[in-house]
């Protein structure tokens, strides 16, 4: 019998009686195992081969006389038609295409949308059995919407459900080769998590000039998931950043019953929060330092009373400390500008050339709040933030003043035992992230 005929014969047996045939084949292979191993053992050491694994998209149904159910996952494209989407999912079903085109909810959820996940089940005749997708109505929503298309005895039906996002966790670890963001991209770390790392460790690490090749980070962070798929990154739960050989740690701790009152602590339980962030932007490119300079527009040398940070128009600007907005509006060469008086009564900060202002005079703000966005209003040659730090209304060098803040603002950890256990758990997860990264690099 030819090999091809043998294959077809065995396939027919499996379809007619999958359990009995599979058991017979298994018994045969176990009995012939010694012969097969001896016959296939090479005389010379084998060449290095690469094993490629792919998800199996077909499964033998437990019922239906061995009928196959085909599974396929993909995502939508802006140019999709019903026929194109189904064909890409391995479905050839004119009736299903007509249904998706004519059903308003299904059409709105699937077409002219880019990147929405699609999960499809089809029978062994490539006819649609079910189709699912999900999406967020609003960027900050805690719920998601799910479209379910199913084949019933009466034909295809569709419905849209609303369900809460589920909280999950992810870990990641990376090594600095050029910049923090480049290293984060290498390990697919979401940008929002990278910004949080810069915020958390910004008071002890200079992310503009202080990073060195070989520095490393590990992080545990929340994900908000829809049907098991992460749709948005949440808060950093724990992180370690090794900079110039020194390890800096952070654990998010919030006592039960005090929502919104949490903060980051090192593994020993000391707060990482200082009176001020070291800068109003998370990643910095300084274009003009504090001190004497030749003004690019006015054309003469004068004292520059702040630091200029280049950033694209629209980049969020944060207040570096708690305080009260005293000025929020247009002002001569500063363009759109915000002044904030801080809690000690003698310090104030200035944020100028903004494209927009998100606060009002008299408004209370907290450290890290977004107060506006980078722009080029007033006397500016391009989009940037002019930032000043003043002590008793006298401008001082913010790079020096903020880097030399003394000590952390200590916060007691009332439930020390709870924190100690949390700290141990997070250290274990961070160690796992480092080990997985090490294995991947090897």
CA-based torsion, 293, 294, 296, 300: positive or negative = positive
Q: Going residue by residue through the chain (442 aa), what tens digit of pLDDT does each one get? A: 544 444 444 545 444 455 444 444 444 443 433 333 333 333 444 444 444 445 444 444 444 455 688 899 999 999 999 999 999 999 999 999 999 999 999 999 999 889 999 999 999 899 999 999 999 888 778 899 999 999 999 999 999 999 999 999 999 999 999 889 999 999 999 999 998 998 888 878 878 778 999 999 999 999 999 988 888 898 999 999 999 999 999 999 986 655 556 888 888 888 888 888 888 987 667 888 776 654 555 454 567 889 999 999 999 999 999 999 999 999 988 999 999 999 888 999 999 999 999 999 999 999 889 999 999 999 888 999 999 999 999 999 988 888 777 655 655 556 778 888 899 999 999 998 888 766 554 4
Task: Give the pairing of strands 117-123 and 68-75.
Answer: antiparallel
CATH among 3.90.420.10, 3.90.700.10, 3.30.450.20, 3.10.450.350 for 60-164: 3.10.450.350
> In Å, how far are 232, 289, 308, 381 from 378, measured between CA atoms?
37, 19, 14, 9
- CA pair distance 246, 244, nearest whole angstrom: 6
pLDDT of res. 342: 95
Q: Which backbone phi and psi does 429 adopt, to 5 degrees? A: -65, -40
pLDDT of res. 42: 37
- CA pair distance 162, 169, nearest whole angstrom: 22
Task: Give the pairing of strands 291-294 and 216-226.
Answer: unpaired
Q: Rounded to an integer, what is the distance from CA 153 to the centroid of its chain?
A: 42
Contacts of 174 by beta carbon, 8 Å cutoff, 6+ apart: 183, 184, 186, 187, 189, 216, 217, 437
Domain boundaries, the chain: 60-164, 167-274+413-441, 286-403
Domains 60-164 and 167-274+413-441 belong to one CATH topology = yes
pLDDT of res. 437: 67
Instruction: List own/partner pairs for 334-342 with CB under 8 A and 24 or more apart.
Output: 334/378, 334/386, 335/375, 335/376, 335/377, 335/378, 335/379, 335/380, 336/372, 336/375, 336/377, 336/378, 337/378, 338/371, 338/372, 340/365, 340/371, 342/275, 342/276
Unique residue bearing structure tokens 């009466």: 154
Name which of 362, 282, 370, 283 is nearest 319 in CA terms.
370
What is Dmax (Cα atoms) for the chain?
Answer: 97
- CA pair distance 255, 118, nearest whole angstrom: 39
- CA pair distance 281, 149, nearest whole angstrom: 45
Task: Give the pairing of strands 216-226 and 166-175.
Answer: antiparallel
pLDDT of res. 304: 85
CATH among 3.90.79.10, 3.90.245.10, 2.60.120.1440, 2.70.70.10 for 286-403: 2.70.70.10
CATH among 3.40.50.720, 3.10.450.350, 3.30.450.20, 3.40.50.300 for 167-274+413-441: 3.10.450.350
> In Å, how far are 219, 279, 417, 420 from 251, measured between CA atoms?
10, 22, 14, 11
Q: Where are the alpha helices (DSSP H) in 41-120?
A: 82-88, 94-102, 104-110
CA dihedral 401, 402, 405, 409 (to 10 degrees): 150
Q: 116: buried, middle or exposed (CB in 10 Å: 19+, 13-18, 0-12)?
A: middle
49-71 pLDDT, tens digit each: 444 445 444 444 444 455 688 89
pLDDT of res. 379: 87
Contacts of 343 by beta carbon, 8 Å cutoff, 6+ apart: 321, 322, 323
Q: Is 188 left (phi over 0), alpha (psi -120 to 50) or beta?
A: left
Task: Give the pairing of strands 370-374 and 316-318.
Answer: antiparallel
Name which of 209, 204, 241 is nearest 403 in CA terms.
204
């Amino acid at each position: 019998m030819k090999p091809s005929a043998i294959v077809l014969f065995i396939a027919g047996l499996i379809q007619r009686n999958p359990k009995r045939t599979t058991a017979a084949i298994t018994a045969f292979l176990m009995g012939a195992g010694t012969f097969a191993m001896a016959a296939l053992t090479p005389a010379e050491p084998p060449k290095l081969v690469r094993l490629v694994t792919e998800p199996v998209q077909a499964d033998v149904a437990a019922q239906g006389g061995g009928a196959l159910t085909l599974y396929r996952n993909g995502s939508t494209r802006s140019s999709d038609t019903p026929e194109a989407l189904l064909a890409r999912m391995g479905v050839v079903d004119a009736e299903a295409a007509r249904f998706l085109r004519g059903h308003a909810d299904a059409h709105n959820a699937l077409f002219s949308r880019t990147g929405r996940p699609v999960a499809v089940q089809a029978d062994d005749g490539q006819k649609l059995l079910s189709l699912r997708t999900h999406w967020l109505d609003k960027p900050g929503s805690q719920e998601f919407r799910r479209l379910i298309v199913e084949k019933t005895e009466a034909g295809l039906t569709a419905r849209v459900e609303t369900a809460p996002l589920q909280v999950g966790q992810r870990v990641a670890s990376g090594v600095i080769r050029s910049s923090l963001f480049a290293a984060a991209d290498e390990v697919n770390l979401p940008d929002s998590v990278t910004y949080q790392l810069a915020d958390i460790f910004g008071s002890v690490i200079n992310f503009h000039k202080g990073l060195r090749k070989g520095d490393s980070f590990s992080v545990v962070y929340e994900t908000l998931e829809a049907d098991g798929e992460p749709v948005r990154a949440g808060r950093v739960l724990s992180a370690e950043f090794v900079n110039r050989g020194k390890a800096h740690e952070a654990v998010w701790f919030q006592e039960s019953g005090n929502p919104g009152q949490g903060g980051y602590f090192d593994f020993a339980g000391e707060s990482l929060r200082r009176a001020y962030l070291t800068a109003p932007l998370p990643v910095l490119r300084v274009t003009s330092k504090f001190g004497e300079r030749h003004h690019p527009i006015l054309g003469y040398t004068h004292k520059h009373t702040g630091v200029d940070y280049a950033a694209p128009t629209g980049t969020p600007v944060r207040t570096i400390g708690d305080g009260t907005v005293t000025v929020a509006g247009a002002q001569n060469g500063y363009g759109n500008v915000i002044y904030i008086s801080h809690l000690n009564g003698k310090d104030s900060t200035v944020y100028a050339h903004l494209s927009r202002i998100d606060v009002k005079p008299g408004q209370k703000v907290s450290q890290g709040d977004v107060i506006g966005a980078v722009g080029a209003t007033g006397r500016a040659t391009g989009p940037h933030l002019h930032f000043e730090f003043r002590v008793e209304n006298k401008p001082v060098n913010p790079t020096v003043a903020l880097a030399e803040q003394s000590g952390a603002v200590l916060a007691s950890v009332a439930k020390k035992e709870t924190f100690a256990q949390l700290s141990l758990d997070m250290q274990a997860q961070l160690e796992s992230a480092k080990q997985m990264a090490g294995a991947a690099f090897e």
